[in-house]
């Protein structure tokens, strides 16, 4: 029976190396409790750019540039050795890791950032990289748009895992793409929280008849470093809960079985029974016997999108 571990801890904000160290330590802690899947939140490495919700749209130009530069300097290059410690931790402890990262494009301009989620197998290999399809509102001043090349469900020893990031989970066609691939453990790392968000996750569990994991972002005013630009104006109260977390595990059909973990740093654990997925889909299988392909069909272009194609590169 798979055991999930949802790590609800504040990142070492805007510090890539220390956030990776925290992730590795958390994997070790979860593995000691016999977890088989260890889940981190959206943009855990090196932290979600929460300031986009407090700066004036189109204003605070110099401050926005300072913060973006710092985020860029601490972003992850997938072609580098940045994530080797995390791959090694997965291999050492034989766990599957799901983790949000700030990814810097390494193929074209080498400057665009993406809100990316990676899945690492228990052998230390990269199973999937999904870039958030649609950054939400002011997030578009930070992140580029992803494509469907990572809109995949992957096999792991713990079950078939798929994931959408934050408000991607409000996109019914994106959800359906995961349902149609037989997702058993549906993971939703997010900056969102509260009763509305939890209700949406319960709906997904009812709709997809799968296990749903909400992996919430945790942050207090005291988690911002002392040298954070304009901290005294943006986050003056060290006791403020900028984000309370609300990590949760929901069974197929919508019952909450663990959490929500609110205003608390730690790891939320849950043992899950994959057999409940098939049992729940007996009466409702949205991508199977309950679908109507004679009326509705969905086409998903899973090719990696690119703005340029180079030919005759040997010249």
In a domain, 286, yes or no: no
Give every CB contact of residue 149 below 8 A, 6+ residues apart in sequence: 302, 303, 304, 305
CATH no. for residue 77?
Answer: 3.60.110.10
pLDDT reading at 315 higher than 60: no
Are β-strands 126-131 and 154-156 bridged in parallel, bridged antiparallel, or unpaired? unpaired
Of 227, 175, 184, the residue nearest 203 (C-alpha): 175
In a domain? residue 294: no
What is the pLDDT of the chain when averaged over all its residues?
Answer: 95
pLDDT digits (tens, 9 = 90+) for 270-302: 999 999 999 999 999 999 999 999 999 999 999
pLDDT tens-digit map of 80-124: 999 999 999 999 999 999 999 999 998 888 899 999 999 999 999
User: What pLDDT, on the 0 to 100 scale, is given for residue 235?
Assistant: 95
- Whole-number Å distance between alpha carbons of 232 and 104: 29
Instruction: Give residue 313's pLDDT.
Output: 64
The residue ranges of DSSP E strands in 22-95, in sequence order, are 37-39
Which structural domain range is residue 56 located in?
3-281
Model pLDDT for residues 37-59, shown as the tens digit of each residue: 999 999 999 999 999 999 876 77
Decide if 142 is inside a domain.
Answer: yes
pLDDT average, residue stretch 198-226? 97
Query: What digits encode the pLDDT tens for the residues 64-82?
Result: 999 999 999 999 999 999 9
Number of domains in the chain: 1
313 is written with which tokens?
A: 């590169």
* pLDDT for res 188: 98
Domain annotation covers residue 292: no
Instruction: Give me the pLDDT at residue 296, please.
Output: 94
pLDDT score, position 306: 86
Residue 229 lies in a domain: yes
* pLDDT-based confidence at residue 314 (cuts at 50, 70, 90): low
- Least confident range from 57-61, 179-183, 204-208, 294-298: namely 57-61
Picking from 21, 173, 179, 16, the residue whose alpha carbon sits closest to that of residue 102 is 16
Task: Determine, yes or no, domain membership for 304.
Answer: no
Q: Which tens digit of pLDDT belongs to each residue from 249-275?
A: 999 999 999 999 999 999 999 999 999
List, by residue number, the catalytic residues. Answer: 42, 132, 166
Cα–Cα dist 45/11, whole Å: 7
């Amino acid at each position: 029976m798979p055991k999930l571990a949802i790590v609800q801890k504040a990142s070492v904000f805007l510090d890539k190396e220390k956030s990776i160290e925290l992730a590795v330590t958390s994997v070790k802690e979860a593995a000691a409790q016999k977890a088989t899947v260890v889940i981190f939140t959206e943009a855990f490495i090196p932290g979600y750019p929460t300031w986009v919700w407090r700066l004036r749209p189109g204003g605070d130009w110099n401050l926005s540039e300072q913060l973006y530069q710092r985020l860029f300097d601490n972003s992850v290059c997938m072609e580098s050795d940045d994530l080797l410690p995390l791959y090694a931790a997965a291999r050492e402890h034989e766990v599957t890791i799901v983790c949000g990262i700030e990814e810097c494009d390494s193929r074209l301009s080498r400057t665009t950032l993406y809100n990316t989620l990676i899945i690492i197998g228990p052998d230390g290999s990269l199973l999937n990289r999904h870039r958030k399809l649609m950054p939400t509102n002011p997030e578009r001043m930070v992140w580029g748009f992803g494509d469907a090349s990572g809109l995949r469900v992957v096999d792991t020893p713990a079950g078939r895992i798929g994931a959408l990031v934050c408000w991607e989970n409000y996109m019914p066609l994106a959800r359906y793409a995961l349902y149609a691939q037989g997702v058993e453990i549906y993971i939703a790392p997010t900056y969102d929280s509260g009763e509305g968000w939890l209700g949406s996750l319960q709906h997904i569990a009812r709709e997809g008849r799968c296990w749903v994991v909400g992996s919430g972002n945790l942050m207090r005013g005291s988690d911002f470093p002392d040298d954070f630009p304009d901290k005294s104006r943006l986050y003056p109260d060290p006791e403020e809960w900028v984000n309370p977390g609300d990590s949760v595990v929901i069974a197929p059909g919508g019952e909450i079985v663990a959490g929500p973990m609110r205003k608390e740093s730690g790891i939320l654990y849950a043992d899950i029974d994959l057999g409940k997925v098939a049992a729940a889909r007996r009466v409702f299988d949205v991508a199977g016997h309950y679908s109507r392909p004679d009326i509705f069909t969905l086409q998903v272009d899973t090719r990696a999108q690119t703005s340029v194609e180079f030919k005759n590169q040997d010249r």
